[in-house]
Amino acid sequence: MNIPASFKYTKNDEWIKVEGNVGIIGITDYAQQQLSDIVFVEVVVSVGDTIKKDDNCATIESVKAAADVYSPASGVVIEVNDQLSNSPELINSDPYGSAWLLKIELSDPSELEELLTAEAYIKKIEEK
Amino acid sequence: MFSPHTPTEKEEMLRAIGVQSIEDLFQDVPKAHRFPSLKLPPPLMEMEALAEMQNFADGNETCRDLISFLGAGAYHHYIPAAVDAIIRRGEFYTAYTPYQPEISQGTLQAIFEYQSLIAALTGMEVCNASHYDGATAVAEAVNMAVAHFRGKRTGIVISPSLNPQYTETVQTYTRNSTLALTGFELDPFSSPDSLLPLINTNTALVIVQYPDFLGRLFDYRKLIEAAHQSGALVCVAINPIALGLLTPPGEFGADIVTGEGQPLGIPLSFGGPYLGLFATKLEFVRKMAGRLVGETVDIDGRRGYVLTLTAREQHIRREKATSNICTNQGLMALASAVYLSLLGRQGLRELAELCYHKAHYTMQRITELPGFTLKDPQPFFNEFVIHCPTSAETINAHLLEHGILGGLALSQAYPNRPGMENLLMIAVTEMNSRDDIEALASALAEVSHD
């Protein structure tokens, strides 16, 4: 299982990668394995929307389940990954790279401190 | 296979929840009401029971005994004998989509063919395996539009000439929501233009009927364009027989087409079971409710059928599903697919033409009588509203004495609206012979006056 050390995680299996004041959000390798073959991704927020931490920001459907994605942090949506609507399988093959879901301008970077480190997240999955 | 619990399992479960017996679970129901003694007549033998049932049935007056000009959403059409012969086959008779779908290839193929026929008829790209009836199909269109806008648009504009029963069903579905329904209170005889001022950027869905509840035909292109300019979706509720003659709504911009499938080979049978048609554009398929059968190939390249896009449905998506009803009318959908296959494209067109011409002849014969006028000059398909010299209910009572089931007295459909008393809505199908129409005209002539 690939859990990059430099990212932050939620217990609901989202990751956030911080670049300056921008947070890039996606779902973890563990999450994509649990969901199995992903067939549909819908980002349910639009560029310009203000979202709060824990807001529903995307829905992911696999052949066996539908899962909601919740934002690990608050901010304004600055970009949405359009590529996923035609190639949802990217989440299975490249969950931390080309399969990012959305980018937000962080409004409260202090929220990030509440998130899990890679180490803490790995521990969390081992308990599941 | 259904396997009931064994006595041992029952014991275990009772012990786990800490009660002695199953009766203990019912102690909140007062004892006197738990097993009330029923005052039933003595038992009958099969022969007697059948005779009694026949007696009850003989009390009904059906379209077999009466000449019928009643429509208003359910229509008396001829059903070829092959429809019944096919749907009564044991392989088809379980009226449900299968829970272990892929081993039921025949059922899936029948649903796939149904979907394909309805998609072709309505001019849409995708059609689900059906809903309960025309009313629930419209309500599911509301659900779909709300899901499409993720609840951000809350306005539903309902044409006042949508079948009032459909409007009531939408009201029932949305009673505890924040949706605002408008338009339905307007004068039912107003034109689609009256809806234009109600459409705005909060409108999720505009619902019209084609032909409308009063039988009239409108060109909805202007309304649909206005709805689309505001970003709203449009649902067109259809009579499938009329589409044998009319432009399919998919060709004039409908986003959702719903309909009552009863006219397609399903008997009137006192209001059900009927069939809810539901078709839409491919771009909305993820938000569509209901089951969906797709065609594919197996590992050896042979054609096969599957239930597809099931992640939309409530067993996976739970409370986030567009609808919590994915039940379909399997047997009725099959009946309509058999019916459409038997008629074919040309047969359906001829049937629609027959209905159209007979209805227009009937209208002409009635309006020749003094005191009877056509209420609205708008073009119509097989149903029209007549303004009568006296109350429509009085006229219906008079017609019944002549063995004729008259049309719908509009005061019944619009009980709280003034000015409806003398309005009678007449439907004509291929089942009404020339003699039937002349019988209607002469019975009406007896009550005719200026």
Any domain includes A15: yes
Contact criterion met (CB < 8 Å) for B150 and A65: no
- Give the mean pLDDT of B304-323: 81
Q: Rounded distance, CA B309 to CA B305, Å?
A: 13
Any domain includes A112: no
- Which pLDDT score is estimated for B312? 77
- Give the mean pLDDT of B205-224: 98
Share of chain B above pLDDT 70, in %: 98
| Smallest Cα distance from B205 to chain A, Å | 19
Q: Which of A40, A62, A66 shows the shortest C-beta gap to B320?
A: A66
Contact criterion met (CB < 8 Å) for B316 and A59: no
The rounded mean pLDDT for chain A is 93
Contact criterion met (CB < 8 Å) for B286 and A62: no
Q: Rounded distance, CA B39 to CA B16, Å?
A: 38
Domains in chain B: boundaries: 67-77+345-445, 81-339
- Which pLDDT score is estimated for B96? 63
Q: Rounded distance, CA B70 to CA B376, Å?
A: 19
B286 in A contact zone (CB under 8 Å): yes
| B67-77+345-445: in CATH 3.90.1150.10 | yes
In this prediction, residue B2 has a pLDDT band, given cuts at 50, 70 and 90, of: low
Task: List chain B residues with CB under 8 Å of A66.
Answer: 311, 316-317, 320
The rounded mean pLDDT for chain B is 94
CATH at residue A19: 2.40.50.100
Contact criterion met (CB < 8 Å) for B150 and A63: no
Any domain includes A38: yes
- Give the mean pLDDT of B180-208: 97
3-state helix, strand, coil in chain A (%, to 5): 25, 35, 40
- Give the mean pLDDT of B147-176: 96
Task: List chain A residues with CB under 8 Å of B320.
Answer: 59, 66, 68
Q: Which of A15-19, B60-64, B85-89, B232-236 comes out lowest in average pLDDT?
A: B60-64
Contact criterion met (CB < 8 Å) for A66 and B150: no
- Which pLDDT score is estimated for B102? 82
pLDDT tens digits for B359-394? 999 999 999 999 999 999 999 999 999 999 999 999
- Which pLDDT score is estimated for B205? 98
Give the distance between the most distant pair of CA atoms in chain A.
38
Residue B435 pLDDT greater than 60, yes or no: yes
Ordered DSSP codes for B34-87: HSPPP-PPPP--HHHHHHHHHHHHHT---TTTSEE---TT-------HHHHHHH
Q: Rounded distance, CA B95 to CA B329, Å?
A: 7
Among B282, B313, B320, B326, pick the best mutation site for testing chain A contact (most A Cβ within 10 A).
B320
- Which pLDDT score is estimated for B450? 65
The SS3 call for residue B440 is helix
Q: Which of A40, A44, A68 shows the shortest C-beta gap to B311?
A: A40
The strand ranges marked E within chain A are 8-9, 14-19, 22-27, 38-43, 50-51, 56-62, 66-70, 75-80, 102-106
Looking at residue B149, what DSSP letter applies? T
Q: Which of A66-80, A104-118, B93-107 comes out lowest in average pLDDT?
A: B93-107
Task: List chain B residues with CB under 8 Å of A39.
Answer: 311
Q: Is the alpha carbon torsion for B311, B312, B315, B317 positive or negative?
A: positive
Any domain includes A82: yes
In this prediction, residue A105 has a pLDDT band, given cuts at 50, 70 and 90, of: very high
Q: How many domains does chain A have?
A: 1
Task: Name the residue in chain B with its Cα closest to that of A42.
Answer: B286
Residue B449 pLDDT greater than 80, yes or no: no
Residue B95 pLDDT greater than 60, yes or no: no
Contact criterion met (CB < 8 Å) for A65 and B316: yes
Entry pTM: 0.88
- Which pLDDT score is estimated for B100? 78
The strand ranges marked E within B148-202 are 155-158, 180-182
Q: Rounded distance, CA B70 to CA B143, Å?
A: 31
Q: Rounded distance, CA B163 to CA B208, Å?
A: 9
Residue B213 pLDDT greater than 80, yes or no: yes
- Which pLDDT score is estimated for B313? 78
Q: Which of B150, B286, B320 shows the shortest C-beta gap to A40?
A: B286
Any domain includes A30: yes
A vs B: CB pairs below 8 A: 19
**Which domain does A32 fall in, by range?**
8-106
Interface confidence: ipTM more than 0.85: no
| Smallest Cα distance from A99 to chain B, Å | 20
Residue B97 pLDDT greater than 80, yes or no: no
pLDDT tens digits for B230-266? 999 999 999 999 999 999 999 999 999 999 999 999 9
A37 in B contact zone (CB under 8 Å): no
Phi, psi of A117 (to 5 degrees): -80, 170
Beta bridge partners of A51: A75
Q: Rounded distance, CA B16 to CA B216, Å?
A: 64
The architecture that CATH gives domain B81-339 is 3-Layer(aba) Sandwich (3.40)
